[in-house]
């Protein structure tokens, strides 16, 4: 989106969900490996793995589209506000340039100082707007991450998956069997959950929207 760097390309890094946590027999020092315990650790008998394609999930997840639209509007409102203030200041500067010759030295100095103050305030406003937008992006990322990770965890437990990977261009996964691609299933479930909170359901996506990893 214009003027927005969404970590949701983000900007969003969907974590690998680990459903089988390794437990140690001793209740103490859970963060430390204990001598002789590594040999006793075993892989789950049914180790089911699947993956989702991040770009496809984000482009078809209706909640993400809503958040992205809100963020885009916030960005445009900020840009319009800044543009109006900058144009107003520019007109004042041009007006001063036209009339400066008719002013006394003290009058001209006072106007210059006022214009300088307004210019500095405009720069501060621009900086604040940038910070506010970054904060808004971070809040969007958190909301999206919480929604998706929570749904994935519940889905994995229900369907018996041990790991669900997030796949995107440039990461370590160069190939994955399409039979392991559950992007469409996850997006469908996420959208159904999202629509249940809305007054009017949106149109379902096509199963062909789930892209290949090749």
Mean of the pLDDT values across residues 65-74? 93
- Tell whether 172 is covered by a domain: yes
Q: Return all residues near 21 (Cβ < 8 A) that are at least 6 apart.
A: none
pLDDT-derived band of residue 10, with 50, 70 and 90 as boundaries? very low
Report residue 45's pLDDT band, with 50, 70 and 90 as the boundaries: low
- Indicate the number of domains in the chain: 1
The answer to whether the predicted template modeling score (pTM) of the entire model surpasses 0.75 is no
The confidence band for 95, taking pLDDT boundaries of 50, 70 and 90, is: very high
pLDDT in tens, 143-183: 999 999 999 999 999 999 989 988 887 677 777 788 888 99
Give me the chain's average pLDDT, please.
77
The region of weakest confidence among 16-30, 125-139, 187-201 is 16-30
144 located within any domain:
yes
Check pLDDT > 50 for residue 125. Answer: yes
As a whole number of angstroms, the distance between CA 79 and CA 77 comes to 5
Does the residue 10 lie in any domain?
A: no
Q: For residue 9, is it within any domain?
A: no
Q: Does residue 214 belong to any structural domain of this protein? A: no
Arithmetic mean of pLDDT, 55-67: 92
How many C-beta atoms lie closer than 10 Å to residue 80's C-beta?
10
- Does 8 map to a domain? no
Given this model, what pLDDT does residue 204 score?
52
d(Cα 103, Cα 96) in Å, to the nearest integer?
9
**17 with 156: CB under 8 angstroms?**
yes
Q: Is 104 exposed, middle or buried (0-12, 13-18, 19+ CB in 10 A)?
A: exposed
* Domain containing residue 191: 17-209
Determine, yes or no, domain membership for 131.
yes
Residue 7 lies in a domain: no
Residue 7 pairs with which residues in a beta bridge?
10, 11
Nearest CA to 153 among 17, 35, 46?
17
* CATH number assigned to the domain comprising residue 107: 3.30.910.20
């Amino acid at each position: 989106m214009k003027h927005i760097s969404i970590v949701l390309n983000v900007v969003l890094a969907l974590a690998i969900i680990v459903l089988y946590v390794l437990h140690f027999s001793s209740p103490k020092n859970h963060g430390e490996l204990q001598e002789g315990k590594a040999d006793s650790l075993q892989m789950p008998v049914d180790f089911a793995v699947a993956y989702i394609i991040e770009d496809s999930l984000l482009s078809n997840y209706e909640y993400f589209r809503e958040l992205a639209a809100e963020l885009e509007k916030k960005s445009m409102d900020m840009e319009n506000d800044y543009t109006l203030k900058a144009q107003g200041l520019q007109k004042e500067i041009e007006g001063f340039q036209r009339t400066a010759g008719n002013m006394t030295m003290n009058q001209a100095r006072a106007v210059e100082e006022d214009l300088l103050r307004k210019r500095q305030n405009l720069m501060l406003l621009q900086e604040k707007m940038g910070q506010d937008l970054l904060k808004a992006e971070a809040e969007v990322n958190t909301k999206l991450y919480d929604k998706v990770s929570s749904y994935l965890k519940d889905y994995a437990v229900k369907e018996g998956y041990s790991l669900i990977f997030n796949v995107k261009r440039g990461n370590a996964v160069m190939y994955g069997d399409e039979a392991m691609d559950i992007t469409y299933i996850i997006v469908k479930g996420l959208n159904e959950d999202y629509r249940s909170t809305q007054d009017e359901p949106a149109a379902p996506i096509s199963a062909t929207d789930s892209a290949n990893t090749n």
